[in-house]
Amino acid sequence: MKKTLLIIFLLFFSAFVSAVWAFAEPIKIDCENGIYHIILDGIKVGKKLEFVSSEKLITNKEAHFTSASILTINAGFFDPNNQKTISYIVTDRNTVADPLLNENLLSNSVLRQNMDKIINRTEFRVVECDGKYHYEIVPHKTPVEFTCSIVTSAQGGPMLVPELRLEEEFFILKNSDGKIIRESASVLEKTARTIIGLKGDDIHILIITNKNPKTIYEARDLCVKLGLERAMAFDGGSSTSLNYKKSIDIVSTSDAGGRMLKSFMILK
């Protein structure tokens, strides 16, 4: 009888441990020298990861608590003057933010001449193929395989790894002499940055705060040092934001509430 009870107990305990393991949060967060390094278990978060766009600008913290998210970071670029997007955002397989609908982009002659580069900036995708999820960091116009679909995605840029695409994505513009005459997103300056990358099955997120600001080249070098196979930037500077549960609230602006933003990555 005792032996039977012991076996039943062990089976119950094993099932309990397995359940706890299955529902354990697939997230690891470290912070060193002003840089938060977040690792998400890509196998577990596929259906929980989502990019969203707000009709009106809101803070990262507002998006975090409104969506009941475990983890929230800032995502794509936007125009603070008209509150419209400069980056494509896909939610639930539908495009919810389209830069071609931003009249300020189209009315600017320099931007209009380089619209193909802006439209094809790098994006992070959650892709489903026959019920299985995987992740891609690719230029926006990169097609998906015939049997696959983009579940959710957010465009930002530039791509950092395997190659830095500053000119190709119109983050810098050079004249005929090769001199940089235009810069976007403070790519050449030391500033806070939001970076997302892939290594094996895992998703890596770097929140580079004002305590250790980096140029885009230095951010690229950090991604290489960490062994990331692909990596890209989201909006940075004062937009760089991180909320984790109720324990971490990081903003890179003098306003304690954080900058008003357009799009976010949430972990449901």
Using one digit for the tens of pLDDT, what is the confidence trace for 147-172?
A: 999 999 999 999 999 999 999 999 99
Kindly provide the b/e burial profile for residues 18-43, where b requires at least 16 CB atoms within 10 angstroms of the residue's own CB: eeeeeeeebbebeeeeebbbbbbebe
Backbone angles phi, psi at 141, to 5 degrees: -80, 0
- Mean residue pLDDT of the chain comes to 91
pLDDT of 21: 36
Query: Could you tell me the CA-to-CA distances from 49 to 37, 72, 166, 170, 203 in Å, in that order?
Result: 17, 10, 27, 28, 11
Q: What is the CA radius of gyration of the chain?
A: 20
Report the alpha-carbon distance of residue 252 to residue 193 in Å, rounded.
9
Residue 256 has pLDDT above 80, yes or no: no
pLDDT of 255: 62
- Per DSSP, helices labelled H in 24-102 are 42-45, 60-66
249 or 267, which is more confident: 267
User: Which tokens belong to 202?
Assistant: 């895992």
Backbone angles phi, psi at 111, to 5 degrees: -65, -40
AA identity, residue 241: S
Which has the minimum average pLDDT: 16-30, 75-89, 214-228? Answer: 16-30
